[in-house]
Amino acid sequence: MVNLKCNRELPIGMQQIYRVTNKLKRAGQYNIQTQTNVQILIYEFSIQQMN
């Protein structure tokens, strides 16, 4: 699994999503359900940014 880079140019919300995701991966708690939830969060966040 690729580690998501926390890019400083990303909006704060996205940075937080990446940080939490990486913490879960290190703790071995990152599974398909988590991945799906993260993808939904990123999708919803992207839509908010467009409005």
- Cα-based torsion angle of the residue sequence 44, 46, 50, 51 in order, rounded to the nearest 10 degrees: 20
10-residue mean pLDDT profile of the chain (51 residues): values are: 60 83 89 89 84 71
Residue 45: what pLDDT? 85
Residue 6: what pLDDT? 55
What distance in Å separates the CA atoms of residue 6 and residue 12, rounded to the nearest whole number? Answer: 10
